[in-house]
Homo-oligomer: A and B are copies of this chain.
C-alpha cells in the first residue's frame, strides 16, 4: 500500500542548499521532490499547481516571507500539508515558534540524510516527528514559562532604539512621545528582565533576537 513516493517540496533561500537537498533526496526511492521555492511568496505561487504536495521542508530565515509566516499560511490554506522545519540553529525560540506556527517537526541542517528520510516518513504517517531536540526543548520551554518576559509593541520599538547612540530624550522625539514615557518603557523593561542598565538591555535584546544590529 505504501508503494507511492512521498511528494515533497523544499523552501529555502539558498539555491545551493535547496538544489543540493533536492539532488540528495531524489536518491531515496521513497521520496519525490516535486518543486522548490526560494521563500514564502514564491511557495504561495508554486503550490497552486502542486496542491498534492505532502511534506514541505521549510527553512526559517528567509527574505520576503519567513518560515513562521509561510507555515501559518500553509496551515490556513492547505491544512493537510505537513511542514518539517529545517534550521541551522538549535534555537529554543525558533523551535517553539515553528511548532506554534503549525510545523510537525524541527530538524537541524547538520542532521544525517537518513534521519531526514525518517522524519519525512514519520511525519506522513503520524503527522508529526518529535526528536530529542524538539521534545527536550518543549519541556524546557514549559518549565521556564516566564510570563514576565512578554513585551508590548512599544517596548520592543523602544528596545530597538536603545541599541543606537540616541539619548532617551532623542528616542522620545523619534517616537513622538514625552521623555517621561520613554522612561516608563525603560523602567518596565528593567523590572521585567531584572536589568539595571541600558547596556544590559541592549545585550539582552541582541542575545534574544529582539534587536537587529
- As for how many copies of this chain the complex holds, the number is 2
A202 partner residues in chain B, CB cutoff 8 A: 199, 202-203
Instruction: Known A16-B109, A19-B24, A112-B15; judge A199-B86 contact (CB<8 A).
Output: no
Instruction: Known A21-B16, A23-B20; judge A199-B113 contact (CB<8 A).
Output: no
The CB with the most chain B CB atoms within 10 A, among A22, A110, A167, is that of: A110
Interface flags, A128-172, vs B, CB<8A=1, else 0: 000000000000000000000000000000000011110100000
A20 partner residues in chain B, CB cutoff 8 A: 17, 19-24
Q: How far is the CB of A165 from chain B (nearest CB, A)?
A: 4
Interface flags, A189-213, vs B, CB<8A=1, else 0: 0000001111110110011000001
* Extra contacts besides A38-B110, A164-B200 (11): CB < 8 Å: A14-B88, A15-B113, A16-B110, A17-B17, A19-B20, A20-B20, A23-B23, A165-B200, A203-B206, A206-B213, A207-B213
User: Can you list 24 A-B contacts with CB-CB less than 8 angstroms, sorted by A residue number?
Assistant: A13-B110, A14-B110, A15-B109, A15-B110, A15-B113, A16-B86, A16-B109, A16-B110, A16-B111, A16-B112, A17-B109, A19-B112, A20-B22, A20-B23, A20-B24, A22-B24, A23-B23, A23-B24, A23-B27, A162-B199, A165-B197, A165-B199, A199-B202, A203-B213
